[in-house]
Amino acid sequence: MFTKESLEKLVQEISHPGEIGIADIPDVSLYMEQLTSIIENKMENFKRHPEDKILTKTMINNYTKAGLLMPPQNKKYSKEHIILLILTYHLKNIISITDIRALFRPILNNLASREDDVISLEEIYATFLELKKIEFDSFYDSLIEKFTVIKEKTRSIDIDNREMAELFLIVVMLIAQSNAQKRLAEKIIDTYFKVETESR
């Protein structure tokens, strides 16, 4: 039987899969092999399947060509590269590469000029990790409220089919919530980050 405790266990499994903190990112520049190795090892818990890849050489080259990363210096990647790659990993499953490029443009411009650095990339990343933790901590409480509603709505379904109906409704509810958040993120990017001449 799928219970509130079952749901809590699933949420705990996905909540904090081993983030790369600022202290975990080397201050020295790395060659591509070192870079992919560090990210693959430290972000292993984000994989859905063991054979999945977090980051490959091809991905890094494609992100650089797409304008998400500045080119490496003497084939070496800095702390800023690593932060942008981690952020790209988290963003690419939700928004397009075009949207990520628009979102990153002010950051990359600041990194290139080192002017008007109101907030550093390290501070942005640290804040991202903090907000992510807050979001996951409140996520469970919100989910339990909705699970209670789903339980009430499925009470009249016979016991053999009830659990599958509950699980189905949990999944579509999560997808609906995710879609609403994605659309709002895209609207903010379209309104405040995309320049007039950029193709949509």
195 or 54, greater pLDDT: 54
User: What pLDDT shows up at residue 198?
Assistant: 52
Helix H or strand E encompassing 76: strand 76-77
User: What pLDDT shows up at residue 17?
Assistant: 62
Query: Would you kindly state where each structural domain of the chain is located, as residue ranges?
Result: 4-192
User: What pLDDT shows up at residue 112?
Assistant: 74
First to last CA, the chain: 47
- The pLDDT of 115-136, averaged and rounded, is 85
Give the side-chain half-sphere CA count within 13 A for 78.
Answer: 10
pLDDT digits (tens, 9 = 90+) for 172-194: 999 999 999 999 999 999 999 98
User: What pLDDT shows up at residue 148?
Assistant: 93
pLDDT digits (tens, 9 = 90+) for 5-55: 999 889 888 876 678 999 999 999 999 999 999 999 999 888 989 999 999
- Pairing type for strands 76-77 and 30-31 reads antiparallel
**Confidence band (pLDDT; 50, 70, 90) for 137?**
confident
Amino acid at residue number 57:
K
pLDDT digits (tens, 9 = 90+) for 71-120: 999 999 999 999 999 999 999 999 999 999 999 999 888 887 766 556 78
**Confidence band (pLDDT; 50, 70, 90) for 197?**
very low
**C-alpha dihedral, 122 to 25 to 81 to 131, nearest 10°:** -40
Q: What is the pTM of this model?
A: 0.89
User: What pLDDT shows up at residue 58?
Assistant: 97
- The pLDDT of 135-153, averaged and rounded, is 90
User: What pLDDT shows up at residue 117?
Assistant: 56
User: What pLDDT shows up at residue 1?
Assistant: 80
Query: How many Cβ atoms from other residues are within 10 Å of residue 29's Cβ?
Result: 17
